[in-house]
Structure 1
Amino acid sequence: MSKSLPNAVLALGANLNLRGKEPKVTLQQALDAIARQGMVIRAVSRFFATPCFPAGAGPDYVNAAALIETDKSPTELLHMLHDVEHEFGRERVQRWGMRTLDLDLICYDDHVLPDAALFDRWLTLPAQAQRQEAPDQLILPHPRLQDRAFVLVPMADVAPDWRHPVLGRTVTEMIADLPVEDVAAVTPL
């Protein structure tokens, strides 16, 4: 029996029209582009309308999640996602700003990267520092995953039982830990 390929969860988001098309069209086209890169898309969540983060930074988002199988390393996968973002007009100018497409690698199986100590530094980074600092290397799982309904609610459609390798909580449990109003604000389209 052959070993299955590693699984990863991607978060997709957009809040700006691209070439006259609405964000939900961009997300569907981005999924097609990811598949063309050789990724096996196992599941795609529903598309959700979500308030812009941080509040007031622009139009509301359309968010989704995808469960993929890949033979790429996490770093190779991240580079491929950046290439797809660029194809869709993404310019990395402002952290947490408006964008035509945002693709984030949320988790890669149960890997903790680059190591437990660096992951913990980003996990515990104060909110003010999060606005000003960005890691210079891939941190997995995404260090803000457990704080973001706009990531967790779509992720629950594709990987509800994935267990955070550091926090020990499933996606469903992390959603239950969030404020009810944050979860309620993520609404299916």
Structure 2
Amino acid sequence: MIVALGCNLAGAYTSRAALLEAALNALPAEGLEVVARSGWWRSAAWPDPKGPEYLNGVALVRTALPPAETLAALHRIEARFGRARGEANAARTLDLDLVAHGRSVLAGDLVVPHPRAHERLFVMGPLAELAPDWTHPASGRTARQMAATATVGRDAQPYEHR
């Protein structure tokens, strides 16, 4: 399973990186075992680049939970980190997206794989770093290929701590 993590507000944490590390550490309590994770990537806010910069990454996760329960667990973690859902694309303390759940392809209330992840370099870049040969269950394209053709967040790049 692949989970994308992102934020552009640090909330109660000293930095966005500290918040994302804490979010990774919160996954196991919800039955989501982190097997591997990418480095953090930075990118301008989207669609309005005047907003606070984002920090993003991905984690490979093992779970026995089905997709809908996995998404509910991710939403519970977001809420614990102060995520308030409201305006689309608003600044946020934590965004956890279910990018893929095994080889599942679902349509309906829950769409898996994530319907827009393949367009986003701030998701596909970290995924290509972590698992370049991972293939999308529906398109058959690799993470590396999708990173090369992503159209959203083209400014995304690995984040180096200063």
Question: TM-score when scaled to structure 2?
Answer: 0.91
Q: Which has the higher helix share?
A: 1
2:126 pairs, out of 145, 154, 162, with: 154
Please say which structure displays the higher CA radius of gyration: 1
CA distance in 1, matches of 2:156, 2:120: 11
Partner Cα distance (1:185, 1:138) in 2? 27
Runs of 4+ that moved beyond 3 A: none
1-side partners of 2:13 and 2:146: how far apart? Answer: 36
The percentage of aligned residue pairs carrying the same residue is: 38
Q: Does 1:165 align with 2:137?
A: yes
| CA gap 1:20/1:41 in 2 versus in 1, 3 angstroms | closer
- SS of equivalent to 1:68: strand
TM-score w.r.t. length of structure 1: 0.79
Partner of 2:115: 143
Equivalent runs, 1:83-162 vs 2, <5 Å:
83-114=76-107, 137-162=109-134
Aligned to 1:37: 30
User: Could you say what the CA RMSD is over the residues aligned between the two structures, in angstroms?
Assistant: 1.6
Q: 1:47 maps to what in 2?
A: 40
Look up the match of 1:82.
75
Quick one: distance in 2 between partners of 1:20 and 1:158?
A: 26
Q: Does 2:158 align with 1:187?
A: yes
Residue pair 1:45, 1:154 contacting (<8 A) in 2 also: yes
Q: CA deviation at 1:173?
A: 1.0
Aligned residues: 159
- 2:125 partner letter: V
Equivalent in the alignment of 2:17: 24
